[in-house]
Chain A
Amino acid sequence: MMRPALLLPEMLLAAGALAALIGGSFVARDRQWFIRAFTIAVLVATIVAAAIQLREPATSAFDDSFAVDTATGFARILAATGTLLILAIAADEISGSPRESETYALLLFATVGAVLLAGANDLLVLAVGFLLASIPLYALIGLAATAAGAEAAMKTYLMGALFGILLLLGVTILSGLAGTTGYTELAERLPDAPRAVATVAVVALIAGLMFKAGGVPAHFWVPDAAQGATATAATFLTTVPKIGALVAVYRLATVLPTSTSWPIVVAAIAVASMTLGNLAAYWQSDPRRLLGWSTVSQVGFALVPVVAVDRSNLALPSLLVYLAGYTVTNIAAFAVSAALPQHRDLTDYRGLAARRGGLAAALLVALLGLVGTPPTAVFVGKLTTAAAAWDGGYAWLAVVVFVNTVISLFYYLRWIVPAYRDAALASSGGDHSAPPPEHPARRWSARLAVTGAALSLVVGVAAGLLWNVAAGI
């Protein structure tokens, strides 16, 4: 059955993106805020439509090629909320710039792509979602129009092309093996397929999705893009596409037979992502690049419950809770950096607590949140994902998660410590460099940082409610 009404949120986003793109051409440069207001309206409508949809029992649309269930509904709300929050950074950064309405259109397109990835119940829909989520990203990164931005866009494009081909290769092999692209039939026919070939296809598929998630082995573009792109684009591309890609990996994992040894593949990617991301983040001095590597490690943590997907009923809710916590916390951390665009070195944050208590507090909550300190949202995520892995028989993976958490603490502290050090004391104590020059903080980004940090605490404390939604209760 077609039942297109089930795809109302996606249609809203896509139509909104088109309208923003075309409408932007007819609106004067100094009135582009109108398009922003329109984008906000589209996102709010999407969230409302998705929330209403979430209350219905799970079903699927377009001949079972797009799943409409708790995971999709959650991803829709999360992706739209993430984009909505990121608009606050855009309000400061690109307001009145020549490419304002195009940016909004690209953000909306990329959001549709992420949501399609999350709901894809057919390999071809997965491929479409992948392309739709990727292509706007290249443009978003390139919009920075700086040398670093151009390099990052090029790198992202090349990586995207390579891993896109890998993904398509995986799609081709699997459909060749099973004679179908729908997940339901794949689940029935794949167990009989030759094991070695199926394993190759699975590795190719998951590696392709890792490009969108920004995890090992397709992570090389993430730190460059986080550093070189505008704050709007950097925040978006480290947050929203991950939601889609990780839910897509989850969905794929539910149909693959264990004989393809996908659990080992996913576990290896998870461990490699978290370890490599952490180690690479250690000596970064640019806060955005540091956050870029931190998001690579966060993908590793989020992949942990996927490993146990068929053995523990904690897996899906813990993944969704982790994604929710990660989204608000990561946006808060990026928003702090966006609010102080001149602070491109960790030492610039010296004495921030004395000058801007609110922003420093938001930074503290966001970074400790990313570590997984209770009672923030990521703590609940980490706890439940590790519990899910252990419950599924992967106790060692839970131990690796916490070992990596200890490792990650150090580099987040490298950012927090200067912020809470006395600017006066630090400069008198042998450090003779002048205190960082005073710049006004960007207003909306600062508000977003505080809001995001507060949300991360609220979500952590009210995790029970969120869990019930994620578990479909």
Chain B
Amino acid sequence: MLSVIVFLPLVAAAALVALPRLGDRLARWAWVAVAAVDLALIVILWARYDTPPAGGLAFAQQVDWIPGVNSSYHIGVDGLSLPLVAMTAVIFLACAVYALRERHRPRGHAALFLFLQTVSLGLFVAADLILFFVFFDLSIVGMYFVIAGWGHGNRAHSALKFFLYTFLGSLALLVGFIGLYVAAEPHTFDMPTLAAATPLAARPLAGGLVLAAILLGLAVKTPTVPFHTWLPPAHTDAPAVGSAVLAGVLLKMGTYGFVRIAMPMLPQAWRAWAWVIIAVGVVSVIYGALVALAQTNLKRMVAYTSVNHMGYIVLAVGVAGLVAGDTMQARTVAVTGAVTQMVSHGLITAALFLLAGVLRERAGTDDMHDYGGLAAPAPVFATLFAVGAFAALGLPAFSGFIAEFQIFTGSIAAAPATAVAVLGILITAALFLRALQRVFTGETRGKSIGFTDLRAGERWSIGALLLLSLVIGVLPRPLLQVIEPAARTVVGLLGR
């Protein structure tokens, strides 16, 4: 069943490419239909999900792939991956609905995004390092073509920068994977086996180097300061749906790697370097927020707030490495918060990027100075944007609050010094309020004049994402019930 969920979009993409007679209109709707079916399947999967025993996976499947190097097609879900799988399907469905008005080569567009959906889902369910890497690398190739083919502005340059940066990161990751493989006895790429064996436990130097390679790869993808410089141009020049998928799904591949690979497989090295990771997280939080404050371009601003939001996750997983007897509970809360933040940031930021895309589509610019008093001609747009902004700055009743509250509760309890990162929330609040004020209030002027309000497809796609964030914010229990056992397992593994 899991394999069907993963590969259904790929099959649809191949069909779209292979049948050139299919009209553009049919191609757009086919994409929506496939994304909806995939989401429905995941809902069924979630309904049938029972928390697996610690270290185990639900709905696991394992088929030999390259037995000579002990690499297999091994997939499964647990509390860390299931929420991300569901979030991925939601975001892709929202993008499919939003893109119903795409005019530029819609068939190729749909096929490319379906391909990306398979890649993203595959990455989150992979339980083999090589399988993980295959999807990790393919996500880069797919996103490169999204930016280069459907972007605007200096897209060729941005796409190339994105490709080179993240490709470098992915190869660092691969070096780390080979290090784990060679260190394990017998050699294997299987994730659960490696997590159980912790092959480099007795060799701090080698363990540190392998962790450094893996962290470099994941930090580029996440991205954290100082590896974030590819992110703003890529987001600015990507099409709206591309930005939404890039921020909503692809960035999570980095943070997911921390909890799935780095922490369980290299616990000793992780503990040794926990303070460095925390420092990178705090710097990302503050720096991302400050730079976002200085932006006048809306997309760039949201892009930098992503650096800020990813910083909270890095902070939380770093804190999890500060093993001490009495903080087990606090660290579990922090990790739960980190996973919740991945889901929450995916939903909210995807919505914000889709909204920014509306601005560019209508008026050809996303510079905030070009707008003013937009609330009068476009009330629905203004409402949804305000909701998105409040959700992003962590207002209670939205998913962001649940996530960040847990992150800070856990982090400050385990390491009081991390309280300095709360400053990031303050700055983000300021910058979102300022953006709201500049774009929506006051006299209607500039590009705001004659601005068409949201159309049905845009309302439904963006509205659904924000509604889901609200639901998680009000009723977090079902989600947290899935995440918490897995977070406890990870924290337990770190304590070995």
Question: Which A residues fall within an 8 A CB radius of B?
Answer: 314, 317, 368, 373-375, 379-380, 383-384, 386-387, 390-391, 395, 398-399, 402-403, 405-406, 409-410, 413, 417, 420-421, 463-464, 467-468, 470-471, 473
A390/B133 contact (C-beta < 8 A), A314-B69, A409-B167 known? no
A406 touches B141 (CB 8 A): no
| B141 CB contacts on chain A under 8 angstroms | 368, 373
B156-180 vs A, CB cutoff 8 Å, 1 = contact: the mask equals 1000100110011001101100110
Q: CA A399 – CA B133 in complex, angstroms?
A: 16
With the chains together, A395 CA to B134 CA distance in Å? 22
Residues of chain B from 8 to 64 with CB closer than 8 A to chain A in the complex = 64
Evaluate contact between B69 and A467: CB separation under 8 angstroms: yes
For A368, A379, A387, the residue with the greatest tally of chain B CB atoms inside 10 Å of its CB is: A387
Which of B130, B138, B160, B179 interacts with A413 by CB under 8 Å? B160
Tell me whether A395 and B179 are in contact in the complex, defined as CB-CB below 8 angstroms, given that A314-B69, A406-B171, A420-B149 are known contacts.
Answer: yes
Contact yes or no, B68 A417, CB < 8 A:
no
Contacts of B172 in A (CB 8 A): 402
By the criterion CB–CB under 8 Å, are A374 and B164 in contact? no
Question: Can you report 10 residue pairs joining A to B where beta carbons are below 8 Å apart?
Answer: A380-B66, A387-B69, A387-B182, A390-B178, A390-B179, A403-B171, A405-B171, A406-B164, A417-B148, A467-B66
- Chain A residues contacting B179 (CB-CB under 8 Å) are 390, 395
Do A406 and B187 form a contact, CB below 8 Å, given A373-B137, A375-B134?
Answer: no
A314 touches B164 (CB 8 A): no
B165 to chain A, nearest CB (A): 10
Please provide the chain B residues from 74 to 111 with a CB less than 8 Å away from any CB of chain A in the complex: none
Contacts of B64 in A (CB 8 A): 464
Q: Contacts A406-B167, A413-B160, A417-B148 given: A467-B67 contact, CB under 8 Å?
A: yes
In the bound complex, residues from chain B placing their C-beta under 8 Å from that of A395 are: 179, 182
A374 touches B167 (CB 8 A): no
**Inside 8 A of A417's CB, which chain B residues have their CB?**
148, 156, 160
Residues on A with beta carbons closer than 8 Å to the beta carbon of B187 = 387, 391
Q: Which residue in chain B gives the minimum CB-CB distance to A473? A: B68
Closest to A375 in B: B134
Residues of A within 8 A of B145 (CB): 420
Asked whether A387 lies within 8 Å of B68 as measured between CB atoms, the reply is no
* Partner pick for B164 among A383, A386, A402, A410, CB 8 A cutoff: A410
Name A374's contact: one of B134, B148, B149, B175 (CB within 8 Å).
Answer: B134
| A473→B67 CA distance, assembly (Å) | 11
B residues near A463, Cβ cutoff 8 Å:
65-66
B182, A390: Cβ atoms closer than 8 Å: yes
User: Contact between A383 and B67 (Cβ–Cβ < 8 Å)?
Assistant: no
CA distance A403 to B148 in the complex (A): 25
Tell me if B67 and A464 are in contact (CB < 8 A). Answer: yes
Contacts of B168 in A (CB 8 A): 406
Cross-chain contact B164 with A409 (CB below 8 angstroms): yes
Q: Work out how many contacts link A and B, with CB atoms closer than 8 A.
A: 81
Q: Distance in Å from the Cβ of B11 to the closest Cβ of chain A?
A: 15
Say whether B181 faces chain A, with CB atoms less than 8 Å apart: yes
- B133 pairs with A464, CB closer than 8 A: no
Report whether A383 and B182 are in contact in the complex, using a CB–CB cutoff of 8 Å.
no
The answer for the CA separation of A387 and B182 in the assembled complex, in Å, is 7
| Contact between B163 and A409, CB atoms less than 8 A apart | yes
Q: How would residues 183 to 220 of chain B score, 1 for a CB under 8 Å from any chain A CB and 0 otherwise?
A: 00001000000000000000000000000000000000
Query: Is the Cβ of A387 less than 8 Å from the Cβ of B178?
Result: yes
Interface centre among A375, A403, A405, by most chain B C-beta atoms within 10 angstroms, is A375
CB distance from A53 to the nearest CB of B (A): 22
Contact A374/B68 with A395-B179, A402-B174 known, Cβ cut-off 8 Å: no
Query: What CA separation (Å) do A387 and B69 show in the bound complex?
Result: 9
Instruction: Give bound CA distance, A413 to B161, whole Å.
Output: 12
CB of A464 within 8 A of CB of B68, answer: yes
Closest Cβ–Cβ distance, residue B46 to chain A (whole Å): 28
The answer on a CB contact under 8 Å between B68 and A467 is yes
A340 → chain B, closest Cβ, in Å?
A: 21
- 13 more A-B contacts (CB under 8 A) besides A390-B182, A391-B187, A406-B168? A375-B134, A383-B69, A384-B66, A384-B68, A386-B174, A386-B178, A395-B182, A399-B175, A402-B174, A467-B67, A467-B68, A470-B68, A473-B68
Q: Which of B97-146 contact A (CB under 8 A)?
A: 130, 133-134, 137-138, 141, 145
By a CB distance below 8 angstroms, the chain B residues around A314 are 68-69
Chain A contacts of B167 at CB under 8 A?
406, 409
Q: Which residues of A contact B174 (CB under 8 A)?
A: 383, 386, 402
Q: Which residues of A contact B69 (CB under 8 A)?
A: 314, 383-384, 387, 467
By a CB distance below 8 angstroms, the chain B residues around A399 are: 175
Contact B68 A383 (CB under 8 A): no
- CB contact under 8 A between A402 and B175, given known A387-B182, A467-B67: yes
Inter-chain CA distance A406–B163, complex, in Å, is 10
State in angstroms the CA–CA spacing of A463 and B189 once bound together: 15
Nearest CB of chain A from residue B55's CB, rounded to whole Å: 25
**Closest B residue, CB atoms, query A389:** B178
Cβ contacts under 8 Å, A468 to chain B: 67-68
* Distance to closest chain B CB from A425 (angstroms): 10
Complex CA gap A384/B71 in Å reads: 11
Write the nearest CB–CB distance from A459 to chain B, whole angstroms.
Answer: 11
